[in-house]
Amino acid sequence: MKAGADMKTAGKTGCVFVLLTITKVMITAGNDRVSATVGSSSVLTCPQKPNITMVTWKISPKVGGPCTLGYRADWNKTDRTNCSDSMNWKFRPDWDPTLEIQQVKIGHEGNYTCEVVAPDGNFHRTHHLTVLVPPKLSLYCDDQGNPVCKAAAGKPAAQISWVLESNSTPNEEGHDDGTVTVFSKFTAYSTNVTTTTCIVSHPAGNWSKSIDCRPGNNKLILYVSTILCFLSIVIFVAVIYSFKLHHDRLCHKTKPPEIAPTHSPQDDTMEVEPYTTYVQKENVIYNSVSDLTVGQNLLQGLSPAT
């Protein structure tokens, strides 16, 4: 019986030793959740142990395939598989195996696990990275004179509230990149409300804007805008007309005067000479015929009568 009891005790001791050994070899440094704003840099730490023999970063982003970054002390060599240039060691991996992500994008969101091999055991730590996208706040008045607050393309969706009480219900519109646009129209319980303030709350920050949407102001703005538009058109037409008039005057001044063709007396003589010659010839012929007729009559008068 005593020998059996000793065997059981030895077995339990051996199991405890094995469990302690496994616990020593595979130690979980912990899991944590981190967030980074899009466009910023994110630093993910790894368990720092003396005399590190190997370090491996295993990255599983939500967009794209997995990638790894590795370091082996015996070869003094780093390796990269399918990782973009924006992911790299922040320092020398044999000194500090911290990972740095530069210019964080939405596609970097995912799980990042660091595994360290050292003489006193294997350690790993997992980071769950969430990328934040700050929304763009805008506040305007609709056609009915109601304030409308818009938090565009935020991740996650922003929360909209009003300084004064309102029975408004926000509406959300999702986008393909995972961002969300939130709308909220202010509807006051009282008609005496003039200036309203919209407050946007988001993990990346808080923002606020105020606006006065009284209907009278809207009509005045519309009236002034119409007058300014009309005056702009009139001025534009006047400038065009003035430019054209000035251009026509310049063209008229620079055009050379028309010179009347000179008409000399010699040209008149040359034009009259053919007619004069023709008349003279006609007169000569007429005189010759007249002389011939007179001669014949005289001859007939002188001949004797039979």
Rounded-to-integer distance, Cα 137 and Cα 244, Å: 48
Over residues 158-177, the mean pLDDT reads 90
Q: What is the pLDDT of residue 32?
A: 92
Instruction: Specify the pLDDT at position 59.
Output: 97
CATH topology of domain 26-132: Immunoglobulin-like (2.60.40)
> In the predicted model, what is the mean pLDDT of residues 82-98?
93
Contact 125, 44 (CB under 8 A): no
Asked if the domains 26-132 and 136-214 are classified in one and the same CATH topology, the answer is: yes
Read off the pLDDT of each residue in 16-24 and give the average, rounded to a whole number: 36
Q: What is the pLDDT of residue 53?
A: 94
Domain ranges of the chain: 26-132, 136-214
- Pick 281 or 231 by higher pLDDT: 231
Residue 3 has pLDDT above 70, yes or no: no
Name the nearest CA neighbour of 94 among 77, 112, 119, 69: 77
Mean of all residue pLDDT scores within the chain: 78
**Topology classification of domain 136-214:** Immunoglobulin-like (2.60.40)
Q: Which residue has the higher pLDDT, 265 or 157?
A: 157
Helix (H, G, I), strand (E, B) or coil at 153: strand
Q: What is the 3-state secondary structure (H, E, C) of 240-274?
A: HHHHHHHHHHHHHHHCCCCCCCCCCHHHHHHHHHH
Burial zone of 91 (CB within 10 Å; 0-12 exposed, 13-18 middle, 19+ buried) = exposed
Backbone conformation region of residue 39, classed left if phi is above 0, alpha if psi is from -120 to 50, else beta = left
CA distance 204 to 134: 6
